[in-house]
Amino acid sequence: MALSDLAYAGIFYHLLLAGLAHVAIRKPSGALPAMVGLALLATSFVTQNAAREVPSPYVHVAIFRHILVDGTDEIEIAYTFKRSLWGQGLASETAAALTSIGLSQLELPSLIGLAFVGNGASRRVLEKSNYVLEKSTTHHGEDVVIYRARR
């Protein structure tokens, strides 16, 4: 984001100098392209910044990630949703899709899903996606359960 803002500033400075140079040599008509460019640049900057501030309406993240659990490097499916979208089946669809991609397309030998012990909804999502409860453990000081799906 900072780099794109710097690029906008550089383009703005260039167009401003070009426009002012034409005005200074008493050829204002030559400044017209620079002024149009400045108007377009300002519009682009405003719309880009507005787009950056609009959060995703659905998924904040849906990924495969390496995670160290009890000294073993595992590949976990992970996803988050806005709270207002909980209970609509999106987590189940996402877990099923990630599992299919990981096991079938990427040919990973297995994937894990990690859930807090008391989070029944997350546990049901993993079970619906054919994950099997493997063990309970502590991860970063929290009591969690590890579910696994195999190819």
- The reported pLDDT for the residue numbered 12 is 66
CA 30 vs CA 23, 25, 80, 86, 123: distances in Å:
8, 10, 53, 57, 67
Predicted pLDDT at 99: 93
3-state secondary structure of 136: strand
pLDDT, tens digit, for every residue of 38-55?
666 667 666 665 655 555
- pLDDT beyond 70 at 103: yes
At residue 130, the pLDDT reads 95
Q: Does the model's pTM come out above 0.75?
A: no
How many Å apart are CA 94 and CA 82, to the nearest integer? 14
HSE-CB at 138 with a 13 A cutoff on CA atoms is 3
pLDDT at 54: 56
Contact 147, 126 (CB under 8 A): yes
Over residues 101-126, mean pLDDT: 93
Closest CA to 78 of 129, 128, 116, 113: 113
Dist. CA 79–CA 122, nearest whole Å: 11
Average pLDDT, the chain: 80
Buried b (16+ CB within 10 A) or exposed e, 72-92: eebebbbbebeeeeeeeebbb
Highest mean pLDDT out of 60-69, 72-81, 107-116: 107-116
